[in-house]
Chains A and B, each alone.
Chain A
Amino acid sequence: MSDLDRWCLDALSVDFDGRFQLDDISWTIQPGEHWLIAGANGSGKSALAAVLAGAGDRLSGTCSGLPDRVALVSYEQQAELIEAERRKDDADILDVISEGTPVAEIIDSVSQDDELAETLIDALGLRPLLDRAFRKLSTGESRKVMLIRAFTSNPELLVLDEPFDGLDHDSLWWLQAHLRDLAKTVPMVIVLNRFDECPDFITDVAYVDDGRLLHKVKRDDERAFAEVRQLLHLQTTDLELPPGDPAAQLPSLNDADPLVRLTGAAIRYTDNTVFEDLDWTIEANEHWQLSGPNGSGKTGLLSLITGDHPQCYVNDIQVFGFQRGTGESIWQIKQYIGYVSTALQWEYRVSIGLRNVIISGFYDSIGLYGKSTDAQKAIADQWLDLLGMTGRFDEPFNSLSFGEQRLLLIARAMVKHPPLLILDEPCLGLDDINRQLVLALIERICTTSNTTVLYVNHRTQDQIRGINNHLALQ
């Protein structure tokens, strides 16, 4: 394969009328590849597809080897054509009501293969509509016309943005079969909202988020493929956070008390002081980010709050209305806290099923020692749905990938809707996709629950919308 055969976008940034921008796109399409572009709404996946057909104004970077004949089918381009037809009408100075361009002419004007056009017209049932004005067609009908135009234009590259949208059942079947056939000779890039429609011939997936091409994944890399699919699910699902368990209400907190108040807190060992004189108050619904270099005591500080640090008994700590060291038990504290950290994940070396891992959050235990209720099981299953892990309730926790385990532990921490959720470097040790999965989940929690989030991270790029307070340890 020579360099000439492949199509290359290199550090390309493209502007779309100042409304939207694609940034720093580097992407190579090799001969024999068929790509799927995936991403949430507004992520820029349609824009990326359109760039292949020459859309947008290039700001920087290069684009090399792209073929001349790129056929694009997209909602935008369909709308443009209809709009152009309308304008033709408006521009008509004759006092005659225009019928608009008939379908036959719309097809003819681009078709390079009339025989093929005839076949496709029959296949898609457009023959009765050939004389109808294009702009008068329904969306589905005009979409079919756009497809025929693309197929008959003798394309070197087919770019299809949501080709299955709005098609009736029979046409959908036909189109899928046709694309499968066409894939043998024509390279394709297809934009889809839903992974379950992904055609078999797709070899690669490009994942777009916020105008950037974030992941390129081979179809046969099953794990990465599943992760991208899960990420798309988490960013697009309209499932809500499952509710708490009404039968397991926490003893209610006094609204006047802060969740946490540390006064002059310190952690000291015989030969060093990690920090001292630290005052910190966390009020309900004030999300906090805690940062600081390694060894600055971030985890130590958190564990003073959770009660996992033995020196919580020699500090002036008030949590959830308890002054520490006055006869309260650690379980009375922990019931108000959801907690996730890498250390917890190391500790959570159990082979119980995923559903039980989530339920263990109701009991603040590692592993499940209590009998769970049917209501709790149902809630756990809703969490699995939200995570895009529907039906996997019996899978053993320790067989999951590291990233999936992390998601599960976040669900476990949130299952009881604790007043305080502590996330200690929740992205640590995760690759890009998994990091985004975790961030997507946390963002959902921050924006749609009553839980106060305390988030520890020193990677500045992993910021979370909705967290406005910041404590930095030195």
Chain B
Amino acid sequence: MANYFNTLPLRLQLAELAKCRFMHLDEFTEGVDALKGKKLVIIGCGAQGLNQGLNLRDSGLDVSYTLRAAAIDEKRQSWKNATENGFTVGTYEELLPTADVVLNLTPDKQHTNVVNTIMPMMKHGACLSYSHGFNIVEEGMQIRDDITVIMVAPKCPGSEVRAEYVRGFGVPTLIAVHEDNDPNGEGLALAKAYAVGTGGHKAGVLMSSFVAEVKSDLMGEQTILCGMLQTGSLLCFDKMIEEGIDAGYASKLIQYGWETVTEALKYGGVTNMMDRLSNPAKIRAFDLAEEMKDIMGPLYQKHQDDIMTGAFSSGMMDDWANDDAKLLGWRADTAETAFEKTEAGDVEISEQEYFDNGILMVAMVKAGVELAFETMTDAGIIADSAYYESLHETPLIANTIARKKLYEMNATISDTAEYGCYLYNHACVPLLGDFMKDIKTDVIGKGLEFADTGVDNARLIEVNEAIRSHPVEVIGAELRGYMADMKRII
């Protein structure tokens, strides 16, 4: 199989990358009708599989699970997930031949194998759906002509997909139809109904393409979303220890700090996050971010380039073929880091203190969000999509670190994201080595000294202007506005 994206002429590559439209709520008035009475069979019952299935069933749809035989025989976690939640579980042979829609929610690494196994069992004219386009785009998987192929990709970890649904809301979701496989022209209707079934339509749906989803999703998760947070956690922690800050305090400041500072992104983007700092601290964070953007820029470009050419995916597939040697090695290394091994101390840290004593963390988030966004849009990805894959998802990933540190983050994201995260971290930690040498506790651990709190008016105006006029802020304001609009329409 060849990399599908690379088989496309440049003209189509660009067209596919540029596919991205924010859908309005009134495009979803048919609700789940297109899936009503159809038999939905989910393959795999992990992070996405279980949570999407719970939502779809609660939306009145007929959902059951098929697992590989070993998982059923050995009553593995996936089997427990499905049965304890009252779902019918069956073998491929039992469930696939009668399925109208097959939701492939196995790890990306398994897709080729899984899809090759199940395709012959699928009935004529059925639909196959994915939550990530890797298999189609990077591996060039060919699907039988009579089968409709769609994607419904929640821009969130599976736990959030469920949590938001239960609250009566949803998570932003990207949908796409694989043009080569839409024999009956029903792909879009099915994808829309599926997005409604998971609650995604309430939070915003982007109509996109398999290509745009893959190339932006990989970039976001490797860099700002997971990679930057991991690198930042390790560097900030080690620096604080080196400077004599109490280890329990340092551990807590980082573990909960990402969640706290990025929460501000949800409400008013980078501007609002920066506004939570005092004026002198804001200027410091701005300068630090500029410096880091200079240093990290080439790394972000390399990640995006490798994603575009397929070098990233072939590298990861080599690791798959090598029994995940790199992934497992990096995972073990992460578990051994001082930050992971130091429990958060039993100290009170107020919400504002996370900002005041975490100026460098704020700067890292700003640098990472802006760089990822700039690099994606430079590569032809539409701003809306780049926004969701960078700024929007950052707080959702930060929440996972608050729960159980990097372990939790890497356990909830997909294996592909985890691999990309380590890959980035592996390069970024040494890259920021010199920069970190000059860092002191005034920007991480203690906050600015009273002596350096003077602010030059002209400089402040300049900095504010630069923050506010960044393109991620412009599109962010527009998209958050749409979401607020949607809320008004309901």
Contacts and interface: CB of A to CB of B under 8 A. Distances in A.
B477 to A, nearest CB: 19
15 contacts: A270-B84, A307-B58, A310-B84, A330-B59, A347-B166, A363-B490, A364-B168, A365-B168, A366-B166, A366-B168, A367-B167, A367-B169, A369-B487, A370-B487, A371-B488
B197 to A, nearest CB: 9
A79 interface: no
Contacts of B87: 310, 313
**Which of the listed residues A308, A330, A369 has the most CB atoms from chain B within 10 Å of its own CB?**
A369
A366 to B, nearest CB: 4
B185 interface: no
Interface of B: 32, 36-37, 54, 57-62, 75, 80, 83-87, 166-169, 202, 487-490
A365 B60 contact: no
B60 A329 contact: yes
Nearest to B85: A310
Contact of B490 (A308, A329, A370): A370
Interface in A287-310: 307-308, 310
B345 to A, nearest CB: 23
Contacts of B59: 329-330
A347 B168 CA distance: 12
A270 B86 CA distance: 11
A270 to B, nearest CB: 6
A314 B487 contact: no
Contact of A366 (B32, B83, B167): B167
A371 B487 contact: yes
Contacts of B62: 327
Nearest to A347: B167
Given A327-B37, A370-B490, A311 B169 contact: no
A365 B167 contact: yes
Given A311-B85, A313-B57, A313-B86, A369 B37 contact: no
A371 B489 contact: yes
A312 B487 CA distance: 30
Nearest to B50: A310
B169 A328 contact: no
Interface in A343-389: 347, 360, 363-371
A360 B86 CA distance: 29
Minimum-distance CB pairs A-B, first 4: A365-B168, A370-B490, A310-B85, A366-B167
Contacts of A329: 32, 58-60
A269 B84 contact: yes
A388 to B, nearest CB: 28
Interface string A324-345: 0001111110000000000000
Contacts of B490: 363, 369-371
Given A347-B167, A363-B490, A364-B168, 11 more contacts: A310-B85, A311-B84, A312-B86, A328-B60, A329-B32, A360-B168, A365-B169, A366-B166, A369-B168, A370-B487, A371-B487
Contacts of B60: 327-329, 332
A311 B86 contact: yes
A363 B85 CA distance: 25
Interface in A397-440: none
A365 B80 CA distance: 29
Nearest to B80: A270
Contacts of B36: 327
A365 B165 CA distance: 9
Nearest to A332: B60
A282 B60 CA distance: 24
A369 B202 contact: yes
A369 B169 contact: yes
Nearest to A363: B168
Which residue among B62, B75, B168, B489 has the maximum number of chain A CB atoms within 10 Å of its CB? B168
Contacts of B202: 369
A270 B81 CA distance: 10
B439 to A, nearest CB: 32
A371 B488 CA distance: 4
B159 to A, nearest CB: 13
Nearest to B59: A329
Contacts of B37: 327
Contacts of A310: 54, 84-87
A330 B58 contact: yes
A313 B32 CA distance: 19
A177 B488 CA distance: 54
A220 B79 CA distance: 58
Nearest to A368: B487
A347 B169 CA distance: 14
Contacts of A370: 487, 490
A360 B75 CA distance: 41
A402 B224 CA distance: 37
A105 to B, nearest CB: 68
Contacts of B85: 310-311
Contacts of B169: 365, 367, 369
Counting chain A CB atoms within 10 Å of each CB, the highest count among B32, B59, B61, B167 belongs to: B167
A371 B263 CA distance: 23
A369 B490 CA distance: 8
Contacts of A308: 166
Contacts of A313: 57, 86-87
A360 B167 CA distance: 10
B146 to A, nearest CB: 27
A300 to B, nearest CB: 12
Nearest to B36: A327
A110 B57 CA distance: 82
Nearest to A364: B168
A184 B273 CA distance: 54
Contacts of A367: 167-169
